[in-house]
Amino acid sequence: MTINDSRNQASAATTVEAGEAPVLYEDHDDIAVIRLNRPHRLNAVTPELVDELGAALERATADAPAVCVLRGEGRAFCAGHDLKDDRPAISPEEERHRLQHLQDVTRKIRQAPFPVIAAVHGYALGAGCEFALCSDLIVATRSARFGFPEVSVGLGITGGISHVLPLAVSLAKAKELVLLGEHIDAATAAQLGLINWVVDDDRLDEKVTELTRQLRQRPRLAMSLAKMALDRGAESGIDAAYQTEVSNSLTLFGTEDAADASAAFRRRSEERAGRR
């Protein structure tokens, strides 16, 4: 089943809730797909969307798929916080609680024991950009736009971006992106090392399907440990990285997945040698 087939099935199965649920979830063929579902507001973030997104990520962790895809319905991935969402004033303590919930979303993405692919089209701004950049792999259409407008509207960056962004693009460039808040296109984001692939607008589903097929064939434990090691290695010193790598290698030593992967590699090598 392709990502597009899954999308069509989900639309048919959730016709009633599509107008109500801010986040949709499905799991087919070992692939979990989480969709931000406020297309009338470009999937802008509200407390309800944050709660539902966190719950969807928890459900994905419980379902234990090979890979998870995060995407947006309608014309955008996520346009950031919904500044038109008219709500009563809240106390500083309530605001702290709201922000911690938001941080939990990116924490769950990074801690998920499977790769998370962000499939980005249209706007990925503010919190939406944070959701994307905290994913493991990012595919964006050529028309996609990324940016951090928080400072321009008097808000702070969240989602661990103060750590993730300087690591990805350098401290100087991170300050430029955050302080000026200018939008950058997908090609520029790729050049900066923020995203992995840029595809034509009509090839997003095709590329995501290709990636999910590749990842679904990888040994899961090895993939999960590699993700964890890379994240921890970027956040800690070289000595901690050495320790994590040894620990992971010992965990994988002698597993059935490792034996199967090694046997498959030897078969391919023998077949190539035989063709020479």
- For every residue of 29-79, DSSP letters joined together read TTEEEEEE--GGGTT-B-HHHHHHHHHHHHHHHHH--SEEEEEESTT-SB-
On whether both 208 and 235 belong to a single domain, the answer is no
Strands 123-125 and 145-147: parallel
Q: What is the pLDDT of residue 262?
A: 66
Domain boundary among 216, 232, 255: 216
The verdict on 230 and 163 lying in the same domain is no
Cβ(206)–Cβ(141) below 8 Å: no
Give the model confidence (pLDDT) of 105-119 as tens digits.
999 999 999 999 999
Catalytic residue among 93, 150, 182, 270: 150
Q: What residues make up the domain containing 100?
A: 3-216
Mean pLDDT (whole number) for 144-150: 95
**Per-residue pLDDT, 251:** 78
- Name the token pair of 159: 């989602």
pLDDT digits (tens, 9 = 90+) for 251-266: 766 778 767 766 775 6
Per annotation, catalytic residue among 20, 93, 94, 130:
130
Q: What is the mean pLDDT of the chain?
A: 86
Q: Are residues 111 and 231 in the same domain?
A: no
**150 classed as catalytic:** yes
What lies within 8 Å, CB to CB, of 109 at 6+ separation is 57, 70, 116, 131, 134, 135
Question: Amino acid identity, residue 28?
Answer: H
Tell me the pLDDT tens digit for each residue of 82-99. Answer: 877 767 777 777 778 888
- From its phi and psi, is residue 248 left (phi > 0), alpha (psi between -120 and 50) or beta? alpha
pTM: 0.82
232 and 169 co-located in one domain = no
Question: Would you place residue 133 in the very low, low, confident or very high pLDDT band (cuts 50, 70, 90)?
Answer: very high
Catalytic residue list contains 130: yes
Domain count, the chain: 2
- Identify the CATH number of the domain in which residue 158 sits: 3.90.226.10
* Predicted pLDDT at 38: 96
Looking at the structure, do residues 123 and 37 belong to the same domain, yes or no?
A: yes
Same domain, 8 and 24: yes
Q: What is the pLDDT of residue 59?
A: 97
pLDDT of residue 241: 56
